[in-house]
């Protein structure tokens, strides 16, 4: 992927998702600092002894350095987004199309999934018990009995499909680009007549 194309496209990407009920996750600053400090210890083993990575807060710096750090982190984020798009199968031609769309409109990514359950049939079968009941009689001799259980089973066909689509604008429209997608089906057996979820 071309980095200049990605820089034009990615700031304009909007991610549309369905509203979900989620709980608020509290930021654990102490835990974050601890993980960064552990990573710094490992990093110092790899880097030359003249380099000492540390928190930006703890290093003397000028006012302009804050903007340089923000630019560096933003470029890292853009590179990560390009890597994600490339992993999703977005090629150079598709990226060029997205960049072209982003010149005039927002480009939206949408992940859509569908699941369909279809009732196939109901079957009844008999299952013999593994144990036997043996009765002995002086007149009739031995007799054996087995317990037989009737089991009802319901069979369903589950069809699942998903696709990742990029489109110009925020409401969909004629200009859409399918980036990835799959579909599949499986047969499911249940012991109740309720539709599986």
CB-based contact 173:134 (threshold 8 Å): no
- At residue 147, the pLDDT reads 81
Distances (CA, A) of 144 to 18, 129, 138, 150: 63, 12, 15, 20
Considering the chain, what is the average pLDDT of its residues? Answer: 80
| Pairing of β 107-137 and β 141-168 | antiparallel
- At residue 48, the pLDDT reads 67
Please check the confidence at residue 173 and state whether its pLDDT lies above 60.
yes
Residue range 11-36, pLDDT digits in tens: 444 444 444 444 556 778 888 888 88
Chain CA centroid to CA 132, Å: 51
For 171, the token pair is: 């409401």
- At residue 161, the pLDDT reads 95
| Pairing of β 107-137 and β 176-190 | unpaired
Residue range 111-167, pLDDT digits in tens: 899 999 999 999 998 888 877 777 777 777 777 777 888 889 999 999 999 998 988
Q: Which residues contact 89 (CB under 8 A, 6 or more apart)?
A: 179, 180
Please check the confidence at residue 109 and state whether its pLDDT lies above 60.
yes
Please check the confidence at residue 171 and state whether its pLDDT lies above 90.
no
Among 197, 187, 1, 195, CA closest to 89? 1
CB-based contact 132:185 (threshold 8 Å): no
DSSP-H helix ranges across the chain: 3-9, 29-46, 63-87, 92-102
Please give the model's pTM, rounded to 2 decimal places: 0.51
DSSP reduced 3-state for 131: strand
How far is the C-alpha of 147 from the C-alpha of 152, rounded, in Å? 16
């Amino acid at each position: 992927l071309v980095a200049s194309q990605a820089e034009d496209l990615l700031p304009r990407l909007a991610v549309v998702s369905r509203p979900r009920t989620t709980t608020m996750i509290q930021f654990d600053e102490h835990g974050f600092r601890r993980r960064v400090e552990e990573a710094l210890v490992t990093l110092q083993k790899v880097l030359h002894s003249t380099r000492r990575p540390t928190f930006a807060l703890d290093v003397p710096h000028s006012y302009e350095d804050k903007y340089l750090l923000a630019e560096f982190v933003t470029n890292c984020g853009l590179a990560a987004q390009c890597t994600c798009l490339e992993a999703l199968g977005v090629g150079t031609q598709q990226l060029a199309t997205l960049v072209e769309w982003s010149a005039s409109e927002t480009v939206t990514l949408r992940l859509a999934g569908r699941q369909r359950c279809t009732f196939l049939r109901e079957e009844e079968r008999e299952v013999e018990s593994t144990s036997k009941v043996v009765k002995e009689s002086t007149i009739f001799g031995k007799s054996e009995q087995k317990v037989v259980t009737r089991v009802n089973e319901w069979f369903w066909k589950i069809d699942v499909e998903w696709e990742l689509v990029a489109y110009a604008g925020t409401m969909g429209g004629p200009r859409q680009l399918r980036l990835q997608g799959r579909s599949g089906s499986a047969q499911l057996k249940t012991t109740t007549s309720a539709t599986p979820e």
